[in-house]
């Protein structure tokens, strides 16, 4: 009997350890399915210091992908969200708490890479976690907490990845039409009916179109006067699954996430000029003003009947994926959820609910015809899914979960939201038959509104095509007087010096610049905006304003002239000079990969075999395999600490500089540090918070506290019984099993 229980103990311990390893492998597999390469950063190795001269300036030193990033950051918000924005939080008991966005904006940062004044860095900090986007002018690097992907709040590591490392998805963005009965009113765009169907509500027929966005199962001319009314007031809503899973249950983290989502979406839209195809009207500064945020901290108490569930109803862990169009209608059921949808131009929901058919987003298509239903400023219409009441149609949604309940990257989720809002704004999918709107990968790749869900791996993925630009311009042209309002041409306080401003210090007090963005006499410039400004005066000639760095190794140091506050363009290094630790060469001031020597279409790639994992490999994008690059018969080694993949399981590793990929050491020490912090805090609330946020760890420890003593007692009783029976051989075998010797540990008794 004792032997049976002993075997049960061993099997249970094996199950616990194997479960922990399975969780780790699961999120690693999820990462590898979405990224061709990534880097994991230890926040303890991020060097942070504050400028002694300027209190609002913080400097960060980050090493990612074997590159050193010296970030010069200004504390304070520089985006498009007004500080007066009200955030409505629906608490667990159903009461509503109101707060101002200004309370959170001090945790935001904006700045540049030291030595690259034209670079841009933006993001925010939430406790020990960083959310940063680094644009060096050539690539976008994203840094975000790994805990979102691993669902382990005790894991403080940061995930770093480039846009071009995101795997492309292979599923099409589907479409469906709905009919609510009634006669059909002819539309000025009859092709829309034949391609997408129609819908009617009440006595008037309305054209209705829903768009849905799918995730990969693998993962992956004229000119006119500029119009001012081009801004759409948006309400952004986060349901409780987003709050709990993406924001770790934190109100502050949720609100900051929503602010960053709105800012990143606006970057996509405001960087685009939308031109009407026939009238030539030009619309710039098109975007969304975040007018309201709603945060739902817990499931709604009124979950609704089975035939009409609340969009914020509880979600059980084993629940099947939801029907996306029915879920979108639940969000549009304003009578049930009490959210004022008609007060805003558009309403966008973010959630963490798996959807059927691997759908990531869904939205109603807007139309330039005011008689059509759907999209921005659309009136409600009768439900198409049996709710028997009016449903808001100026809505869209994006989920951060794939169909398996695994999180997607924040960059791809952002593009899903931008894509769905594009449908709300009247854009169809880019036609694959027109190369100007759906170019090949050799010509820059597809644009944001491509019918296959874009990943963000190329610049076109966050840009609108000419086709989308025309369709959105048509909608703005006919809806501008009733739906849109004027954009502010001047955003004093966003830390960017714009036309009409002499300076812009952001939200912080500045000794050179006033609150209305004018220079304070006798200031000639502002240190916050000008690299060649020192103490509000032009820096002297010879002052270093842009140093040569790993990010621009083919450009020399640059020095101020003393005549103005502008840093001159840097001189280039000699063409052919080695760069990037020998895996590149300089050409016209840029560090080009050695692969380009093989031909214009050759790009770097990662060889599959472990033997070549730390050697430069190249592939012709027009077709061909990834092979080792050889120069004069010799291969080129990757520099030390370069990320690589080791073995058949593609474990994350680092090159040793001699051509070998070494597996990374386990980060088990992270938990020890976390436990030590908990012991130091020694507060009951901190202990409870730790146990709740690390529920798997808690269950394992509590289980071991029961099983380990039980197994020890049984093993001890076995030894007593063996001695009584005089079976010395059994005693010896039992001693070997339990490792019961002087100085032996209790743990050793069960793992020898």
**Is a pLDDT exceeding 50 seen at residue 200?**
no
Return the structure tokens found at 215.
Answer: 């995730």
Banded pLDDT at 723 (limits 50, 70, 90): low
| Closest by Cα among 682, 693, 624, 634 to 659 | 634
CATH superfamily of 175-431: Collagenase (Catalytic Domain) (3.40.390.10)
Return the structure tokens found at 100.
Answer: 């101002």
pLDDT digits (tens, 9 = 90+) for 326-364: 999 999 999 899 899 999 999 999 999 999 988 899 999
| Closest by Cα among 535, 546, 543, 536 to 562 | 543
Query: Rounded distance, CA 402 to CA 532, Å?
Result: 48
Query: Rounded distance, CA 209 to CA 189, Å?
Result: 14
Q: Cβ–Cβ contacts within 10 Å for residue 102, how many?
A: 14
The reply to whether 120 sits in an annotated binding site is: no
Tell which CATH architecture fits domain 574-663: Irregular (4.10)
**Is a pLDDT exceeding 70 seen at residue 375?**
yes
In angstroms, the Cα distances linking 222 to 189, 225, 427 are 22, 10, 20
**Nearby residues of 362 by Cβ (< 8 Å), 6 or more positions away:** 210, 211, 212, 213, 324, 325, 327, 328, 355, 396, 397, 420
| Phi, psi dihedrals of residue 580, rounded to the nearest 5° | 50, 50
| Closest by Cα among 468, 79, 532, 427 to 275 | 468
Cis before residue 522, ω within 30 degrees of 0? yes
Which CB contacts under 8 angstroms, 24+ apart, belong to 88-97?
A: 88/292, 88/293, 88/294, 88/295, 89/251, 89/294, 89/295, 89/297, 90/294, 90/295, 90/296, 90/297, 90/300, 91/297, 91/298, 92/297, 92/298, 94/301
**Nearby residues of 696 by Cβ (< 8 Å), 6 or more positions away:** 19, 20, 23, 152
**Is a pLDDT exceeding 80 seen at residue 711?**
no
pLDDT digits (tens, 9 = 90+) for 283-304: 888 999 999 999 999 998 777 7
**Nearby residues of 271 by Cβ (< 8 Å), 6 or more positions away:** 463
0.75 surpassed by pTM: no
Residue whose pair of structure tokens reads 């969780």 in the numeric block: 23
What is the average pLDDT score of the chain?
76
Compute the residue count for the chain: 752
**Is a pLDDT exceeding 50 seen at residue 88?**
yes
Asked if 162 and 83 touch (Cβ cutoff 8 Å), the reply is: no
pLDDT digits (tens, 9 = 90+) for 248-284: 888 999 999 999 999 999 988 988 899 999 999 898 8
Instruction: Say whether domain 490-567 belongs to CATH 1.20.81.30.
Output: no
DSSP class of 166: B
The reply to whether 112 sits in an annotated binding site is: no
DSSP class of 571: P
Banded pLDDT at 550 (limits 50, 70, 90): low
**Is a pLDDT exceeding 70 seen at residue 728?**
no
Angle at 422 between CA 300 and CA 474, to 5 degrees: 130
**Are both 175-431 and 574-663 of the same fold?**
no
Counts for the chain of helices (H) and strands (E), in that order = 14, 41
Q: Cβ–Cβ contacts within 10 Å for residue 690, how many?
A: 18
Give the CA count within 13 Å in the CB-facing half-sphere of 264.
Answer: 29
The reply to whether 419 sits in an annotated binding site is: yes
Enumerate the active-site residues.
Answer: 420
Determine the 3-state secondary structure of 607 from DSSP. Answer: coil
Banded pLDDT at 421 (limits 50, 70, 90): very high
Q: At what angle do helices 695-725 and 2-34 cross, to 10 degrees?
A: 150
Query: Rounded distance, CA 206 to CA 185, Å?
Result: 7
pLDDT digits (tens, 9 = 90+) for 625-666: 889 998 777 888 888 777 777 665 555 677 888 888 887 654
The pLDDT, as a whole number, for residue 213 is: 41
Asked if 663 and 649 touch (Cβ cutoff 8 Å), the reply is: no
Boundaries of every domain in the chain? 2-23+694-751, 39-165, 175-431, 490-567, 574-663
């Amino acid at each position: 009997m004792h032997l049976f229980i002993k075997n049960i103990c061993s099997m249970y311990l094996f199950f616990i350890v194997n479960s922990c390893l399975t969780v780790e492998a699961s999120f690693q597999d999820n990462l590898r399915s979405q990224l061709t390469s990534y880097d994991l950063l230890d926040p303890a190795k991020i060097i942070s210091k504050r400028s002694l001269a300027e209190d609002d300036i913080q400097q960060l030193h980050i090493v990612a992908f074997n590159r050193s990033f010296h970030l010069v950051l200004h504390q304070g918000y520089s985006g498009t969200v007004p500080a007066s924005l009200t955030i409505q939080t629906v608490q667990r008991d159903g009461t509503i708490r109101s707060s101002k966005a200004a309370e959170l904006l001090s945790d935001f940062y904006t700045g540049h890479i030291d030595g690259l004044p034209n670079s841009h860095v933006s993001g925010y900090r939430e406790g020990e976690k960083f959310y940063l986007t680094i644009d060096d002018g050539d690539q976008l690097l994203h840094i975000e907490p790994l805990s979102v992907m691993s669902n382990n709040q005790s894991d403080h590591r940061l995930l770093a990845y480039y846009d071009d490392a995101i795997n492309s998805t292979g599923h099409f963005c589907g479409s469906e039409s709905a009919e609510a009965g009634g006669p059909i009113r002819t539309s000025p765009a009859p092709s829309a009916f034949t391609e997408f169907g129609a819908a009617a509500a009440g006595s008037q027929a309305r054209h209705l179109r829903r768009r849905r966005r799918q995730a990969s199962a693998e993962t992956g001319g004229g000119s006119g006067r500029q119009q001012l009314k081009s801004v759409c007031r948006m309400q952004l809503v986060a349901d409780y699954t987003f709050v709990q899973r993406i924001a770790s249950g934190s109100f502050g983290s949720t609100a900051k996430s929503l602010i960053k989502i709105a800012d990143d979406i606006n970057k996509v839209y405001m960087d685009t000029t939308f031109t009407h195809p026939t009238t030539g009207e030009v619309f710039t500064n098109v975007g969304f003003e975040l007018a309201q945020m709603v945060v739902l901290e817990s499931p709604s108490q009124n979950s609704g009947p089975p035939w009409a569930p609340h969009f914020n109803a509880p979600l059980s862990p084993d629940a099947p994926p939801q029907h996306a169009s029915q879920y979108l209608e639940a969000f549009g059921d304003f009578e049930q959820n009490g959210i004022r949808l008609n007060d805003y131009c558009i309403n966008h929901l973010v959630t963490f609910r798996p959807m059927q058919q691997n759908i990531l987003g869904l939205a109603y298509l807007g139309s330039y015809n005011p008689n059509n239903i759907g999209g921005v400023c659309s009136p409600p219409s009768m439900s198409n899914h049996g709710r028997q009441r009016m449903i808001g149609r100026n809505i869209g949604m994006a989920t951060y979960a794939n169909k398996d309940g695994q999180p997607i990257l924040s960059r791809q989720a952002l593009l899903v939201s931008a894509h769905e809002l594009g449908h709300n704004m009247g854009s169809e999918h880019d036609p694959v038959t027109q190369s100007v709107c759906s170019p090949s990968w050799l010509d820059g790749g597809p644009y944001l509104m491509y019918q296959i869900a874009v990943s963000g791996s190329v610049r076109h993925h966050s840009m609108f095509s000419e086709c989308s630009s025309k369709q959105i311009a048509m909608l703005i042209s006919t809806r501008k007087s009733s739906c849109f309002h004027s954009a502010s041409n001047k955003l004093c306080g966003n830390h960017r010096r714009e036309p009409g401003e002499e300076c812009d210090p952001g939200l912080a007090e500045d000794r050179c610049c006033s609150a209305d963005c004018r220079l304070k006499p006798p200031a000639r410039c502002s240190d916050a905006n000008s690299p060649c400004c020192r103490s509000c005066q032009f820096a002297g000639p010879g002052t270093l304003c842009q140093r040569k760095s790993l990010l621009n190794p083919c450009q020399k140091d640059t020095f101020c002239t003393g005549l103005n506050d502008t840093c001159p363009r840097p001189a280039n290094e000699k063409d052919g000079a080695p760069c990037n630790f020998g895996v590149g060469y300089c050409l016209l001031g840029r560090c080009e990969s050695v692969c380009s020597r093989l031909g214009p279409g050759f790009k770097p790639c990662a060889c599959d075999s472990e033997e070549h994992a730390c050697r430069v490999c190249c592939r012709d994008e027009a077709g061909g395999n990834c092979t080792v690059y050889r120069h004069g018969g010799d291969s080129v080694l990757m520099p030390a600490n370069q990320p690589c993949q080791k073995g058949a399981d593609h474990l994350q590793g680092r090159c040793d500089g001699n051509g070998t990929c070494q597996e990374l050491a386990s980060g088990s020490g992270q938990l020890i540090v976390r436990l030590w912090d908990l012991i130091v805090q020694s507060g009951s609330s901190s202990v409870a918070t730790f146990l709740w946020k690390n529920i798997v760890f808690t269950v394992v420890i509590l289980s071991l506290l029961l099983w380990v003593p039980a197994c020890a007692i049984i093993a001890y009783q076995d030894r007593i019984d063996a001695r009584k029976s005089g079976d010395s051989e059994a005693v010896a075998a039992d001693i070997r099993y339990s490792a019961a010797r002087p100085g032996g540990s209790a743990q050793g008794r069960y793992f020898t």
